[in-house]
Amino acid sequence: MPRYDAPVRDMQFVLHELLQLQNYSNLPGFADASPETIDQILDEGAKFAKNVLFPLNAVGDKQGCKRASDASVKTPDGFPDAYKQLVENGWPLLSAHPEMGGQGLPHAVNIAWTEMVSSSNMAFGMYPGLTHGAYQALMAGGSDELKAKYGPKMASGEWAGTMNLTEPHCGTDLGLMKTKAVPQGDGTYKITGQKIWISGGEQDLTDNIIHLVLARIEGAPEGIKGISLFVVPKYMVKEDGSLGERNACQCGGLEEKMGIHGNATCVMNYDGATGWLVGEEHKGMRTMFVMMNEARLGVGLQGMSQAEIAYQNALDFAKDRVQGRSLTGVQAPDKPADPIIVHPDVRRMLLEQKAFLEGARAFVYWMAFQGDLQHKSPDEAVQQKAEDYMALLTPVVKAYLTHKGYESANLGLQVHGGSGFTREWGLEQIVRDCRISLIYEGTNGVQALDLVGRKLGANGGRAVFSFFAEIDEFIAENDKVEGLELYVEGLKTVRAQLQDGTMWLMQNGMSDFNNAGASSHDYLHLMGLTALAFMWARMAKIALEKKDSGDPFYAAKLATGRYFVERMLPDAPAHLAKVKTGAAAMMALDAEQF
């Protein structure tokens, strides 16, 4: 029953009209990303997502993955073939480095494709997604030898990659890690320990799996400063690139989970497996963070992507299902009842989804573009600002987009009424799959703490002040534009609220760290709302200029933006009030009084 059609028109709007990638052809890779090329990628991607990935989404949920007694893992029917097509069509190469065989296209283009994969089949998408993350870590921290050995085949997707961080007793607090690495004197290490929740730790999609494993070298300093990163291939790779013997690591079991059943979540046992150091000894976390930032943007995107498919199906349902009559009189006299989209509260749910989705898409694509600027801009000031934004806003993308994305997926289910709760309509799977995005790659609470405890105050608050300055510049330029007042006023108001919250945190978060912790969640949401308000104001400006073009898309954009300002921004003062309440209420109870 459910369907997925990539929102190509809205993606084009963000890439061509909002970000205007065509104006950056001076940056490496951007010249190859002409509007025509981008449109072709979007069209082909949309077909692949609709015809190849989406039909396997419900199958993957129903079948899940199976581990055999020889510790091999079978993915759902159709996954190996779809993966083969993915690699053959070169999709993983879109934004990979040219020296690794990649096309070197902007991340801002790749993210549109990634959204399609995540929307159409989130569980499947995690296989190439994590491979890409592992590939990036290797490129960021690996020696030339390691890069040459693994890079091209990971870039193409021929080999998969995984990230091994969590152990049974440590997730957020990686300093407690026990997995150990013993140097063998020949440049290799023997890795021993157990890792859990390893997505794609074993599967039947690729000939080899390249595990990136965090471990503690014998005698290393305690805590987080004694952790190193290793490459541990499932099969050894010979000099000529062919596969050698099996390494001493295997899948010890699969987790039974709420969702993403099509992805194999493995317990991985390393029993003296051979590994190679990535980067410097004891500096593994640094490289891992490179990977994690990208992974966190990807997870934020997942939250939004599941909201997108939920929205599409809720919209279909609302147009199709007839039940009751409009409050203001019969709208469909030829039918036994009116389609439920006539009801204001059904529209509230749909618009809540739509206004979030379009704002979130602009925000996360804009962030992907900042990632491009950070690495490719010739202008150091632009690079610096982009790097600052990536640091400051990555936790916001991750936590805000997954939190609101999950709410939004739930609204999609709710529009379906009882049908939403049945398997048949597919919405309940969307909600179950989406739920993990609030947790992995650092729970949303950890993101909020990262924001207020680490990112906000870094370099004297340079990042957030840049953000305010960019918003102020927009406001100054557009303050008197007729027809844009609502959006600019909304932005002004929430920007002032965010500043108020920021000042409160700067004054009170340092004197009592618990104030920072207690306010982190609401502060992050306030920043998320501000980011979306900024995107909406910019989008409204474009739409206003083109609203007489004859394309009803622009009028819809303005109306949706109006919903955002009138109906979503009122949450901002509530978040601000909570921020400014501080920690006292939170810390009043002893643990035993709860």
Q: Which is nearer to a copy of itself, 125 or 279 (CB)?
A: 125
Collapsing DSSP states into helix, strand and coil, what is residue 16?
Answer: helix
Give the closest residue to 455 by CA, choosing from 471, 467, 443.
467
Choosing from 239, 441, 470, 482, the catalytic residue is 441
**Cβ nearer to a copy of itself, comparing 281 with 512:** 512
Quote the distance between the C-alpha of residue 35 and its chain's center.
24
- In the complex, minimum distance from the CB of residue 461 to a copy of itself, in angstroms, rounded to a whole number: 19
Cα(538)–Cα(82) distance, integer angstroms: 38
Is the Cβ–Cβ distance between 362 and 18 less than 8 Å? Answer: yes
Residue among 84 and 169 whose Cβ is closer to a copy of itself: 169
Is 321 in contact with 339 (CB distance < 8 Å)? yes
Euclidean distance between CA atoms 163 and 130, whole angstroms? 7
- Give the single-character DSSP code of 200: T
Report the nearest approach of a copy of itself to the CB of residue 417 (Å). Answer: 5
By beta-carbon proximity to a copy of itself, the closer residue of 382 and 555 is: 555
**Contacts for 407 with CB less than 8 Å, ≥ 6 apart:** none
Q: How far is the CB of 584 from a copy of itself (least distance, A)?
A: 8
Amino acid at 591: A
The structure tokens listed for 434 are 């989406």
Nearer to a copy of itself (CB atom), residue 159 or residue 317? 317
Quote the least distance from Cβ 196 to a copy of itself, whole Å.
8
> Which phi and psi angles does 163 have, rounded to 5°?
-120, 120
CB of 7 to a copy of itself, least distance (A): 12
- Residue 23 contacts a copy of itself per CB under 8 A: no
Residues 78-107: x where in contact with a copy of itself by CB under 8 A, - otherwise, as a string = ------------------------------
**Of the candidates 190, 521, 525, 547, which one interacts with a copy of itself according to CB under 8 A?**
521
Distance CA 254, CA 252 (A): 7
Distance CA 543, CA 535 (A): 12
Q: Return the residues of window 373-412 that contact a copy of itself according to CB under 8 A.
A: 406, 410
The CA angle 172-177-182, to the nearest 5 degrees, is: 150
Q: Give the count of residues interacting with a copy of itself (CB under 8 A).
A: 92
**Alpha-carbon span 208 to 440, nearest angstrom:** 24
- Measured from the CB atom, is 347 or 462 closer to a copy of itself? 347
Return all residues near 459 (Cβ < 8 A) that are at least 6 apart. 388
Stretch that binds a copy of itself, among 127-135, 225-233, 375-383, 516-524 (CB under 8 A): 516-524
SS3 readout for 445-466: HHHHHHHHHHHCCHHHHHHHHH
Asked if 517 touches a copy of itself (CB under 8 A), the answer is yes
Closest C-alpha among 227, 196, 229 to residue 212: 229
The verdict on whether 441 is a catalytic residue reads yes
Q: CA 53 to CA 126: how far, in whole Å? A: 12
**Cβ closest to a copy of itself, residue 33 vs residue 529:** 529
Site for a copy of itself in 119-178 (CB under 8 A): 166, 169-173, 176
Residues of this chain, 43-62, that bind a copy of itself according to CB under 8 A: none
Residues 180-209, interacting with a copy of itself (CB under 8 A)? 197
Distance in Å, CB of 351 to a copy of itself, minimum: 7
Instruction: Please answer whether residues 117 and 49 qualify as being in contact, where contact means their C-beta atoms are separated by less than 8 angstroms.
Output: yes
Give the relative orientation of helices 380-415 and 513-546 as an angle to the nearest 10 degrees.
Answer: 90
Answer for which of 93, 181, 448, 471 binds a copy of itself (CB under 8 A) is: 448
**Residue at token pair 């105050």:** 457
Each residue 452-481 as x (binds a copy of itself by CB under 8 A) or -, in order, gives: -x----------------------------
d(CA 135, CA 389): 23
Q: Measured between alpha carbons, how far apart are the two ends of the chain, in Å?
A: 45
- Give the x/- contact pattern for a copy of itself in 331-360, rule: CB under 8 A: -----xx-x-x-xxxxxxxxx--x------
Q: How far apart are CA 214 and CA 324, in angstroms?
A: 58
Query: Given candidates 19, 181, 431, 498, which one binds a copy of itself under the rule CB under 8 A?
Result: 431
Taking the least distance from each CB to a copy of itself, the nearer of 406 and 534 is: 406
Alpha helices in 98-237 (DSSP H): 107-120, 122-141, 144-156
Would you say 154 and 93 are in contact if contact means Cβ atoms under 8 Å apart?
no
**Residues 411-430 contacting a copy of itself, CB under 8 A:** 413-414, 417-418, 420-424, 428
The amino acid present at 211, given as its one-letter code, is: H
Q: Tell me if 5 contacts a copy of itself by CB under 8 A.
A: no
Q: How far is the CB of 586 from a copy of itself (least distance, A)?
A: 5
Q: Which of 149, 520, 526, 543 forms a contact with a copy of itself (CB under 8 A)?
A: 520
Give the shortest CB-221-to-a copy of itself separation in angstroms: 15
Residue 335 structure tokens: 């039918």
Q: Closest separation between CB of residue 567 and a copy of itself, Å?
A: 6
74 is a contact residue toward a copy of itself (CB under 8 A) = no
Strands 66-67 and 73-74: antiparallel
Closer by beta carbon to a copy of itself, 41 or else 427: 427
Taking the complex as a whole, how short is the minimal distance between the CB of residue 386 and a copy of itself, in angstroms? 29
CB of 565 to a copy of itself, least distance (A): 8
CA separation for the pair 550, 538 (Å, rounded): 20
Binding flags for a copy of itself, 248-287, as an x/- string (CB under 8 A): -------xxxxx----------------------------
Contacts (CB under 8 A) with a copy of itself, residues 293-332: 315, 319, 323-324, 327-328
By CB under 8 A, what part of segment 528-587 binds a copy of itself? 552, 555-556, 559-560, 562-563, 566-567, 570-571, 573-574, 577-578, 581, 583, 585-587
Contact 401, 353 (CB under 8 A): no
Q: Report yes or no: 210 and 162 within 8 Å, Cβ to Cβ.
A: yes
179/377 with CB nearer a copy of itself: 179
Query: Which of 19, 33, 212, 436 is the binder for a copy of itself (CB under 8 A)?
Result: 436
Cα angle 100-105-107, degrees, rounded to a multiple of 5: 105
Q: Which positions are annotated as active-site residues?
A: 441
